């Protein structure tokens, strides 16, 4: 698909934004990303996604401001629904999504990373919510899942970026690496996840998404229900047998 490179190997899908020079997002590009992640959700031969961007200037510089200037307030609810669909497609992708953030993730770019399951950042990456600078609100719901309220409000009220290391300190980023190590690190992690049970990964991600905002006791009860569903599968039995027999599991996705 034009502007997005999708590659598959060894049960890993790599999705690469390629909108030079800084991967800004038009409505058409939002829709492309949505279609890609919705399609991946239907793929039985993919267990994990590595989501990254091409170039060295930015992971994603956010909304295309030229397109935004041409929009009217009357059009905004429709535009907003297209944007929400993109972040929903990533967050609720049936398999885990690892964001490999190679450079600045600004506005919508910050949310693309935030909607992913795991974030690995280059030392050159930064994260910002500059909506206040362009007359917008947004990003707080997704970014606020990952950072303390003080950090969220600092980012939202100032529009100033935080470094990859600060993002790591506050819990937004799981790992910071040199630019050269970014993709090898992300692919190594993806390789570990790709070897897990396909049905186990899908049920676990769905469960984790559902319990995230629930009270602990209710969330754990729901999680146990998912565990019972998983226990009924051939993969779950194979996982247990492989541990007992001290061998690598052979999963069938059933």
Q: What is the pLDDT of residues 80-110, one digit of tens each?
A: 899 999 999 999 999 999 999 999 999 999 9
Count: domains in the chain: 2
Same-domain status, 142 and 57? yes
Model pLDDT, residue 237: 87
The answer to whether residue 119 sits within a structural domain is yes
Same-domain status, 181 and 237? no
> CA 220, CA 205: separation in Å to the nearest integer?
14
Tell me whether strands 118-122 and 105-106 are parallel, antiparallel or unpaired. unpaired
Model pLDDT, residue 1: 45
Same-domain status, 240 and 140? no
Give the containing element (helix H, strand E) for 8: strand 4-9
CB within 8 A of 165, min separation 6: which ones?
123, 176
> CA 211, CA 173: separation in Å to the nearest integer?
21
> CA 29, CA 83: separation in Å to the nearest integer?
10
**Residue 86 CB coordination number (10 Å):** 25
The DSSP code sequence of 76-103 is: HHHHHHHHHHHHHHHHT-SS-EEEEE-S
Q: What is the pLDDT of residues 167-222, one digit of tens each?
A: 999 999 999 999 999 999 999 999 999 999 999 999 999 999 999 999 999 999 99
Name the percent of the chain lying above pLDDT 70.
Answer: 99
CATH number at 32 reads: 3.90.226.10
Give the containing element (helix H, strand E) for 254: none
Average pLDDT, the chain: 93
pTM: 0.93
Model pLDDT, residue 139: 87
Q: Is residue 5 pLDDT above 80, yes or no? A: yes
> CA 231, CA 18: separation in Å to the nearest integer?
41
CATH number at 226 reads: 1.10.12
Q: Is residue 79 pLDDT above 90, yes or no? A: no
């Amino acid at each position: 698909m034009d502007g997005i490179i999708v590659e598959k190997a060894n049960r890993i899908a790599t999705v690469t934004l390629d909108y030079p020079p800084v991967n800004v997002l038009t409505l058409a590009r939002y829709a492309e990303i949505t279609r890609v992640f919705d399609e991946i959700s239907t793929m039985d031969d993919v267990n994990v996604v590595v989501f990254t961007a091409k170039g060295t200037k930015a992971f994603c510089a956010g909304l295309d401001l030229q397109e935004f200037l041409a929009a009217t307030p009357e059009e905004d609810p429709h535009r907003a629904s297209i944007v929400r669909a993109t972040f929903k497609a990533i967050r609720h992708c049936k398999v885990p999504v690892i964001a490999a953030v190679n450079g600045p993730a600004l506005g919508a770019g910050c949310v693309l990373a935030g909607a992913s399951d795991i974030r690995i950042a280059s030392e050159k990456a930064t994260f910002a919510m500059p909506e206040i600078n362009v007359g917008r609100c947004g990003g707080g719901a997704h970014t606020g899942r990952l950072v303390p309220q003080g950090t969220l409000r600092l980012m939202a009220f100032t529009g100033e970026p935080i470094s990859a290391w600060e993002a790591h300190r506050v819990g937004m980023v799981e790992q910071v690496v040199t630019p050269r190590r970014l993709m090898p690190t992300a692919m190594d992690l993806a390789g570990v996840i790709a070897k897990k049970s396909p049905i186990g990964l899908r049920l676990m991600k769905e469960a984790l998404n559902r319990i995230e905002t629930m009270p602990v006791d209710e969330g754990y009860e729901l999680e146990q229900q998912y565990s019972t569903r998983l226990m009924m599968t051939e993969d779950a039995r194979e996982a247990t047998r492989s541990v007992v027999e001290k061998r690598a599991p052979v999963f069938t996705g059933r």
